[in-house]
Chain A
Amino acid sequence: MNKRVKRLALGAATAALVTMGSFAPAMADTVLKFISWQTDDAGTGEWWHSAIAEFEKQHPGVKIEFTKAERSSYADTMTTLFAANQPPQIVHLASFEFQMFADSGWLEPLDPWLRKDGIDMTGWAGQKTCEWNGETVCIMTNYFGFVMAYNKKIFDEAGIAVPKTYDEFLAAAKATTKDLNGDGIIDQFGTGHETKGGPGQYLTEMLNYIIDAGAYWTDKEGNITIDTPEMVEGLTRWKTVMKSGVSPVDMSASDVRKLFADGKMAMRLDGPWLYGTTEKGSAKSDIVYVAPPLTPPLGGSSNVLAMPSDIPDDQKQLVWDFIKLTMTAEFQRSYATMGGNTPPSPKADVSGVEKTIPHFPVLLATMKAASEKGIDRVPIGLELYYNEFSKMIMEESQRMIIQDLDPAAVAKTMQAKAESIKG
């Protein structure tokens, strides 16, 4: 028995050795690593794949290794890779998380590269966010505006019209929240907010109401502007919506979109990506996209491309070639036709996209509206502390809802805490 076990173990160990050896990365080609959370997103993922294929065609002998890292732990992964000095060559980050890397001096300033190729970034949506300490450290890949999708069937059954203001929105949500099978448990909701997706997402959901009330976290100079009557109104609305039961509680991003896509929710305020989910849902034919009743529409920069400052120059040139490729007219157009996104380039030709994505003009209009008002999710002056700030706002909002606190007092607390975070 023992002999056999030993021989087995030995054999297994040898097999393991051999196999692991064969898994060593191929060294023949130049390999650029590109980690992203969007690799298999419907639309956007395909667009990345098409850009990679084109790049590899133009650069024989160069391979891009496109790997997925899950979104919820994405920032941790990138932090570890950068801290250990092993960043991927093509850096893909969310627009609220690149600042820490830029501030540590790990992202290459792109101004010389842009100058060398004579690229004019005027009018490129959201590009201002990419300026850090006076230098361009990234290229904005996506800037979006929020839209509202509603379920026409539910609206018709309740006999209500599409809301145009916050009050109408709330009334519509109340009218469509129902217990359909009479077991005492609500199973159709007026709207839904993702409150389980972490602080950043929580703030995004709140912001819909806050911007409509005319408030924002900071002003253009970076002063904190939470303790204002407008913000109190915004917080009151958030509290009202969350307390009135029109939204299911503790929803993750996925759950809330799935519910809407399957016809168990009447309205959802969301970014362009909602389309990918509703197209696969069972209520697909009932869903209509319109401009959101809350104005200006929430918008924001979404994700950026950058390159690490510590890689060899020849690799930098290749990475820049890739970034440049995604910025060409051709790929800016296919970002809309294939990815269903609003391309940030002011010169992008998006004619005819509405043939495949009927609501594309709505996306474009809300993106422009948000962009013109300079709306973004990351408050100016708090970029480096965004995670800490958003966690604080989320906690104070939860406290307001759980302990039924007065929004005016909560705004004062938030203001004081935000100032101390900023230091």
Chain B
Amino acid sequence: MTDTVQAGRRKFFDLARPSRQHLLGYILIAPAVLMVAAIIVWPLILAIDLSFQQVKIPRLGGASRPFSVSNYVWLFSSQEFWLACWVTLKLVIVVTAGSVAVGLSTALLVNNRFEGRTVARLGMALPWAVPEIIAVVIFAWMFDTSFGLFGWLAIKLGFTGQMIPWVSSSTAAFWAVAITMVWKGFPFVSIMCLAGLQSIPSDYYAAAKVDGASSFQRFRWITMPLLMPVLGVTLVLTLLWVFRDFSIIKVLTGGGPLRSTQTLSIMTYDQAFQYHNFGRAAAVGVLTLVICIIASLLMLGRRSKSIY
């Protein structure tokens, strides 16, 4: 199919000529850029525009309201926004750290050679394939305050004397959300780390062994440095996922109690669809985006180039 298109096009420019090669590059990349522009960038521009209007429910195609910074003024002076930032930060740190810890250790585990490794490898990353909406159904049930498995286990294991109120205790709600998110988030880290581990040439380890390096030293001085580029990208992707994720928190706790699990993305949703303040919602969304960009730049630093 591509060939016929090409044959037609060659009459206009000879793309095989070195001087035309750049042009071919741009043609090949154009569909991707166009799609992202139409489906991500354009809505983003609309959102930025909305964030500067005092608007309750926008009607698209209708007249826009006058320019106003009142949404941002409200945001910066509201306690709610700063609390949401703090909750998001806590959750991002806990979930990212948890996912990397579990993801990296499972990857190291199945990177060992042993009988049945393929099966183990499949099982370790299986939660990745389970749709979030189904994962949430399972965890909501396991975290049920009255009949949930986790509360019962906590009693049996002697952590507590009574069922844990997963939804009406701030601490418990936060951990219920965090645990669910780690379960859904670590397999991606695991897959990426395993790929990274497999690309490390085994001669490195052999050489280090000859030099008498202990297994911890080999991990510290060979595995970690070589894994860093992959780990960096994975870390940022996980972090962005936590920033953006909505359905896990929405179903498990709805952001409560007392906003202890209300992240920026839950706040965006509430302002838009619960209170019908689309202007404010857009402002929260735009600020979230700014925070995300800064965070990824800081984390990737000079490496941001290495993505491309």
Contacts and interface: CB of A to CB of B under 8 A. Distances in A.
- How large, as a class, is the contact surface on chain B? 20 to 34
Interface stretch (A44-52, A79-87, A141-149, A283-291): A79-87
Interface string B275-293: 1101000000000000000
Contacts of A388: 274-275
Contact of B60 (A84, A185, A391, A399): A84
Interface string B38-64: 000000000000000000111111000
Contacts of B218: none
Contact of B256 (A82, A255, A395): A395
B168 A104 contact: no
A312 interface: no
Given A82-B57, A83-B59, A185 B258 contact: no
A184 B161 contact: yes
B162 interface: yes
B167 A249 contact: yes
A391 B274 contact: yes
Contacts of A250: 144-146, 165-168
A398 B60 contact: no
A385 B59 CA distance: 20
A79 B165 contact: no
A10 to B, nearest CB: 8
A255 B258 contact: no
Contacts of B273: 75-76, 79
A236 interface: no
B152 A185 contact: yes
A303 interface: no
A259 B147 CA distance: 11
A10 B155 CA distance: 56
Contacts of A85: 59-61
Given A85-B60, A251-B146, A198 B165 contact: no
B155 A184 contact: yes
Contacts of A249: 145-146, 165, 167-168
A402 B60 contact: no
B57 A255 contact: no
Contact of B57 (A83, A387, A402): A83
Contacts of A379: none
A184 B155 CA distance: 10
Contacts of B146: 248-251, 255, 259
Most buried by A among B254, B259, B275, B276: B276
B2 to A, nearest CB: 10
A198 B166 contact: no
Contacts of B162: 184-185
A100 interface: yes
A195 interface: yes
Contacts of A395: 256-259
Contacts of B155: 184-185
Interface string A249-261: 1110001000100
A398 B257 contact: yes
A255 B144 contact: yes
A412 interface: no
A68 interface: no
A387 B58 contact: no
B163 A402 contact: no
14 contacts: A83-B58, A85-B60, A100-B57, A185-B162, A248-B145, A250-B166, A251-B145, A388-B275, A391-B274, A394-B256, A395-B258, A395-B259, A398-B168, A402-B170
Given A184-B161, A185-B152, 7 more contacts: A10-B1, A79-B273, A82-B59, A83-B60, A104-B56, A104-B59, A250-B167
Interface of A: 10, 75-76, 79, 82-85, 100, 104, 184-185, 195-196, 198, 248-251, 255, 259, 385, 387-388, 391, 394-395, 398-399, 401-402
